[in-house]
Structure 1
Amino acid sequence: MRIRYFMLHAYGMGGTIRTVVNHANAMAAAGHDVEVVSLVRRRERPRFGLDPRVPIVTLVDQRGGRLPDPLGRRAWRRLRGKIVPRGEFAAAYFTERVERAAIGYVASLRDGVLVTTRPALSLIAARRAPKGVLTVAQEHMNLSAYPETIRRQIARHYGRLDAVAVPTRTNRHAYERLLPGAPIVQIPNAVHRVEREPSRQVNPVVVAAGRLTPQKGFDLLIEAFARVVAEHPEWRLRIFGTGARRAELGGLVERLGLGGHVTLAGRTDRLDLELANASVYALSSRFEGLPMVMIEAMAHALPVVAFDCPTGPQDVLTDGTDGVLVPPRDVSALADALNRVVSDRDLRVRMGKAAAETARAYGPEQVMPLWEDLFAALAHGERVTGTFWHDR
């Protein structure tokens, strides 16, 4: 089967890119004809390793900088909204040249499966893909996180897609309410592998990872960790990731006097090792889709302390068994939960063992056959529903 994964920037970092690369690699290993399509390219090499059988096709090469648009940026901003709506999180990428390239690529296809990985690309597929192409929107963010401008366009156009795949039960119900009768399916994302080096629970280290943006809530985590340090000064917090809020977060660390306790460690190619050497994983997001790094941490037998944010953590964790869930954005509750977990090694060991077992459900051996079943059903003209896939 010919499968194309259409991404904004396959050469970048982030959970969506990591997840799509995992999918592409697994499908190639299963014998499918797989291609990754990157709408733009701004780096020399991909950050995540692709199977040699999976080529990357670039539509707009921006390694030398962005070329001026024929209409000019101001004119194109006035026109934008016909397909890529205002409110798209990556709106800055969608210049006239880039959007036209995406539309032209989708319209040129004649067969196979096209998997789109964000609303802008899914809306283009819904409106421009020829009938011979099977279109699957792979949603990575919860519906409520999108601005109203995006949700209106989803409600208007996603029903034309052959399937809308969401990773959590909560998100499936939200899409079913917005799109009654549409082919919504629930299939979780898969981690690269679940056999990981387990934490030995000997290092007083809490790890968090993600883009340094407001979504990930690292400001809330740093405030909570200040209270942990007051009771457990030997513990350290290491936050991995890059982003626009680095200077702001660094200033918060300094203001709270946490320079010796909190490290903004930047990007790493050794996250597996960092997780294995830690003892707790913290997730402080204001909202999520399905937090894949959290599941990878669980595969390392790390207990998780997380905000019960929409969506993701509650769809994976069982409070008190493989982690601790606290009310969203409640810094005091997050600090109390961290203090409880870091002070009790036996609790960490017990929760970590349960976390590793939970993570097994997200291994490629469990998840990728569901995607193969979905693609095969669509190829045979079957209409799929969320209940069918949820019950499998």
Structure 2
Amino acid sequence: MSVARRATSTLQRAVKALWRALTAPGGRRARSAPPAGGDRVRILLLHANGMGGTIRAVFHLAGYLARTRDVEIVSVIRESAEPFFPVPPGVRIRYLDDRLGGRNGLLSRLPSALVPKDEAAYHRFTLRTDLALARYVRSVRDGILIGTRPGLNLIMARFARPEVVTVAQEHANLASHRPSVRRQIGLWYGRHDAVVTLTAADLGTYTRGFERSGRPRPRVLTRIPNAATPLDGGPSPLTEKTVITIGRLAHAKGHDMLIKAWAHVAARHPDWTLRIVGDGPRRKPLQESIAAMGLTGRVVLAGRIRDVAAELEKASIFVLSSRREGMPLVILEAMGKGVPVVSFDCPTGPAELITHGHDGLLVEMGDVRRLADAICTLIEDEELRRRMGARAVRTAAGYDLGSIGRQWDRLLTGLAAARRPGTAPRAADARGAPFRPGAG
């Protein structure tokens, strides 16, 4: 058989398998299944071995749940040999598409047929991951399944068996998704037992979206923020002439605007340094921008660093320049170290964590000059810096793991208990008005 014929045959088998998974009995989810039990929890992640706020938050939550439940993190892909973050005790990790040797085989070179093309991570999915995800989700016959991004939540809604409780967790915000993705969210999220947002603002957006569209909504629509990660060591002494930001080097994080703002800061305070911790696709253009603005040595791209606590202890100010966020966990980490935060008031998250003038400073989104001025305010006023840092510690304490974990305990226990025979199914359908964010 020729290579082309073998490839065609492989593709045909894959398509048939996918179709069988889609049309298998129980494919249309209902909420009339027997009680599911909440002692087994599986959390779907795109890449558990990567570095990022969502991954860190999921590991944190999984560790808490593993105290009383059987917990497994299911990583769709594996591109690094070991997890970047420590795996919590009692938590297992399963990999569906191991890419340590590269993307091998025809299915790995074909695009996803299940994830919307406008989903932010669409390029990470392939037909191979489609099949692996469909088979895995269909193999789960009990317990609770939690998704952590739209592509995964949509696949859960379509493939999960009726007896499995499904929870769609939102780590970004509804308005940040493309219209085609929001349309799919409106079509399918009503099949989930719960949709969980990180912020009250995003909860309101989801609520209005369901109300305006007239589409079926999940049984529970609620907000549970991420818990602040406990970090080793003590608070920062706030004596180093260092400003820090931590995050993936991606367009959404706005490092390009931060570097422009730092040009103004450096002109007034040439003895201060900006450290940008993280790595990603924007590293080269950011390095070029630093050189072009004459900021070499004053702005440092520090790369990926495991000891975030040590980095924060050497900083006197934390700055967030994101264009959009879900709920920036890194703000809470900085606050927990007593480091005051300057942040763009981007949608969503910062304004729910920072009380302007009390434990940090909020700046109008995209205003580079005001961002620079706010940083300079804290550089020039050490007493204000210390007052805000002390208040920030108290703010972060309100997001401790015990408090947030108990909210998840109540949610998961309640969802499992609500599964009673005879409950009317509320499967989503294609009827209703468009599902979109909007003002109240």
The answer, yes or no, to whether TM exceeds 0.5 is: yes
1:210 pairs with 233, 247, 256, which one? 247
Structure 2 counterparts to residues 169-184 of structure 1, below 5 A: 169-180=200-211, 181-182=217-218, 183-184=220-221
Give the % identical residues: 44
Does residue 140 of structure 2 align to residue 109 of structure 1? yes
Question: Who is 2:392 aligned against?
Answer: 355
Q: Residue in 2 aligned with 1:219?
A: 256
Other-structure match for 1:68: 105
**Which whole-Å CA distance do the structure 1 matches of 2:254 and 2:300 have between them?**
15
Partner residue in 1 for 2:48: 10
| Aligned partner of 1:42 among 72, 75, 79 | 79
CA offsets 1:63-114 (integer angstroms, 9 cap, x no match): 11112234962xx56xx3xx31111111112110111111111111110010
CA distance, structure 1, for counterparts of residue 59 and residue 182 of structure 2? 26
Answer yes or no: is 1:20 the counterpart of 2:20.
no
Q: Among 304, 307, 331, which residue is 2:368 paired with? A: 331
Paired residue type of 1:209: I
Higher relative contact order (CA 8 A, sep 6+): 2
Q: Which residue identity does 1:271 align to in structure 2?
A: V
Alpha carbon RMSD of aligned pairs, Å? 1.5
Q: Quick one: distance in 1 between partners of 2:276 and 2:284?
A: 13
The correspondence of residues 152-167 of structure 1 with structure 2, limited to 5 A, is 152-167=183-198
* Corresponding residue SS for 1:154: helix
| Equivalent AA in structure 1 for residue 118 of structure 2 | G
Which position in structure 1 is the counterpart of 2:118? 87
CA distance in 1, matches of 2:109, 2:93: 29
Find the aligned partners of 1:27 and 1:62 in 2 and give their Cα distance.
Answer: 29
Whole-Å Cα distance in 1 between the matches of residues 124 and 108 of structure 2? 16
Q: C-alpha separation between the residues in 1 aligned to 2:305 and 2:388? A: 26
SS in 1 for 2:366: coil
1:191 is displaced (CA, Å) by 2.3
Contact 1:298–1:304 (Cα < 8 Å) also in 2: yes
Does residue 276 (structure 1) correspond to residue 313 (structure 2)? The answer is yes
Q: Verify the 8 A CA contact 1:326 1:333 in the aligned structure 2.
A: yes
Q: Which moved more, 1:241-250 or 1:187-196?
A: 187-196
Q: Distance in 2 between matches of 1:154 and 1:240?
A: 33
Secondary structure in 1 matching 2:406? helix
1:31 Cα offset (Å): 1.8
Task: Choose which of 235, 239, 248 in structure 2 pairs with 1:198.
Answer: 235
| Structure 2 portions without partners, runs of 5+ | 1-38, 212-216, 424-440
- The change in CA–CA distance for 1:301 and 1:358 in structure 2 (over 3 A counts) is same
Q: Could you tell me which amino acid in structure 2 is paired with residue 227 of structure 1? A: H
Distance 1:71 1:251, change over 3 A: closer
| Aligned mates of 1:281, 1:121 — CA distance in 2 | 32
Tell me, yes or no, if structure 1 residue 151 matches structure 2 residue 182.
Answer: yes
> What is the TM-score with the length of structure 1 in the denominator?
0.93
Q: Distance in 2 between matches of 1:201 and 1:305?
A: 15
Q: Distance in 2 between matches of 1:174 and 1:310?
A: 11
Give the structure with higher Rg (CA): 2
The answer as to whether partners of 1:60 and 1:98 remain within 8 angstroms in 2 is yes
Q: Secondary structure at the match of 2:415?
A: helix
- Counterpart in 2 of 1:265? 302
SS of 2:141 mapped into structure 1: coil
Shift in Å, 1:196: 5.2
Higher mean Cα deviation, 209-218 or 178-187? 178-187
Contact kept in structure 1, 2:169 and 2:195, CA below 8 Å: yes
Q: Which residue in the other structure is 1:250 paired with? A: 287
User: TM-score, normalization: structure 2?
Assistant: 0.83
Task: Say whether the 8 Å CA contact 2:341–2:359 is kept in structure 1.
Answer: yes
Which of 392, 411, 419 in structure 2 is aligned with 1:374? 411
C-alpha contact 1:195 1:299 (8 A) present in aligned 2: no
Displacement of 1:285 in angstroms is 0.2
Q: After superposition, give the CA deviation of every residue in 1:245-278 in whole Å (9 maximum; x if it has no partner).
A: 1110011111111112110000001111010110
Letter in 2 for 1:2: R
| Structure 1, 177-186 or 119-128: larger mean CA deviation | 177-186
SS at match of 1:64: coil
Q: 2:344 — aligned with what?
A: 307
Q: Distance in 2 between matches of 1:70 and 1:309?
A: 39
Contact 1:194–1:363 (CA under 8 A) maintained in structure 2: no
Matched residue SS, 2:398: helix
Residue type at the aligned position of 2:105: P
Alignment partners' CA distance in 1, 2:108 and 2:396: 49
Secondary structure of the residue aligned to 1:55 is strand
Separation of aligned partners in 2, 1:355 and 1:174: 28
Do the aligned partners of 1:194 and 1:359 also contact (CA within 8 Å) in 2?
no
Distance 2:72 2:98 in 1: 17
Contact 2:63 2:88 in 1 (8 A): yes
Moved over 3 A (4+): none
Q: Alpha-carbon deviation of 1:324?
A: 0.4
AA aligned to 1:46 is P
Question: In the alignment, which residue of structure 1 is the partner of 2:5?
Answer: none
The SS at the match of 2:403 is: helix
Of the three residues 97, 101, 104, the one matched with 2:128 is 97
**Does the Cα contact within 8 Å between 2:60 and 2:88 map onto a contact in 1?**
no
